[in-house]
Structure 1
């Protein structure tokens, strides 16, 4: 597999396969939303778009970065979301980096949204599809977020069939600027367990695939049946 690792602004051509990585916290939160029963997640381009969707669909659950705000039902925190019942609901998610990165590659034939909690499942989708060239979009800190780069590199190695030890990649995530800011309360809308939850390797057995549905970019979970996977040596 030919893997490249780019920041959002560095993606100048539509990739064949894009893996958009946001560990802290967009795509950890998205995975938790599916685990709590969400049917789909609409990736929103702006807060105004989120509010407009909520106005048209009052039953949808709106989620954003930062502190609680009028019109939004939840914040972008896995620790806060893990106790919310989302059975059968549609979630509208707008974040600073993750959703921006996914929308930047919305025309790619395959878009996966990833974090450590779905790392192996994401690698399995790449292996099952025989992906030759994969662009990993490192969303945080203008492409410099080490927790996102570490996760991307780990998934790339797993997808290539390497029996990679996750410990060093998780250590980088734990020592990243994002983890420090979450622990020290620099960011708002945070639960004390957020960093630990973001570093739970392979907590969930599904990958997350984003694709256009009408005018919206929609994220849904995907599980690769074991029979569809290449045998590992």
Structure 2
């Protein structure tokens, strides 16, 4: 038996029942989340909007707010949505509150499965290994959610994860080519758009050695993400 893997595209979907939902945001939310954990973050809290982020900080003043609106930094937030900046940040033991346009929104719409994972391309291989270890050899349903409604970068990453689960091993160079060539990335590579850092895309398009996955947990108050070591 092999898992039943289906790809969906969008950030506000009503997904079919599945053992696990995997939400993908390559550019840039879950690449940022990956680097936040690499830099020592203890937890990421997902919030639907700017007001909710500030409400968390009212209650928990030690948190750092991170995210974007329209791809740009949010006034009053501590961090933006740049993996290049997160890769240099000192985050040991800290909690990040994350608000983004597509990835976080899609994650908050994907909480109906018993397990929910987040990934970009940087952590896609680890995510596939985790899924294979737990669901390989079964007919488990796995929903892969490409959170950008139209961009090819998340869809390419979803196809890559599916290929690993089904033993087809899609070429990582093909995924990288599609990331750099997608409409979402064009503004980062445009010299006339200096607010968008082209270095971010280098981080988004680089696959790192598998070490952990990013798993969502929801309790009565918080939707949180923690790393789970492989």
Q: Write out per-residue CA displacement over residues 16-74 of structure 1, whole angstroms, 9 at most, x where no aligned residue.
A: 21110000000000001001110010011111000010111111010011444343100
Among candidates 89, 99, 110, match of residue 94 of structure 1: 99
Residue 220 in structure 1 maps to residue 226 in structure 2: yes
- Which residue does 1:159 correspond to in 2? 165
Seen in structure 2, the aligned counterparts of structure 1 residues 109 and 127 have a Cα distance that, compared at 3 Å, is: same
Residue 194 in structure 1 maps to residue 206 in structure 2: no
Counting matched residue pairs gives 222
Give me the TM-score of the superposition, normalised by structure 2: 0.90
- Which residue does 1:126 correspond to in 2? 131
Give me the TM-score of the superposition, normalised by structure 1: 0.88
What stretches of structure 1 of length at least 5 have no aligned partner?
225-233
What stretches of structure 2 of length at least 5 have no aligned partner?
none
- Which residue does 1:62 correspond to in 2? 65
- Which residue does 1:29 correspond to in 2? 32
- Which residue does 2:147 correspond to in 1? 139
Q: Write out per-residue CA displacement over residues 107-150 of structure 1, whole angstroms, 9 at most, x where no aligned residue.
A: 2101110111101110011111116211111111x2x2210000
Seen in structure 2, the aligned counterparts of structure 1 residues 212 and 205 have a Cα distance that, compared at 3 Å, is: same
Residue 178 in structure 1 maps to residue 184 in structure 2: yes
**Paired residues of 1:76 and 1:189 also in contact (CA < 8 A):** no
Runs of 4+ in 1 over 6 A off after TM superposition: 185-188
Seen in structure 2, the aligned counterparts of structure 1 residues 38 and 98 have a Cα distance that, compared at 3 Å, is: same
Give me the whole-angstrom Cα distance separating, in 2, the residues matched to 1:187 and 1:38. 30
Seen in structure 2, the aligned counterparts of structure 1 residues 9 and 69 have a Cα distance that, compared at 3 Å, is: closer
RMSD: 1.9
Seen in structure 2, the aligned counterparts of structure 1 residues 49 and 9 have a Cα distance that, compared at 3 Å, is: closer
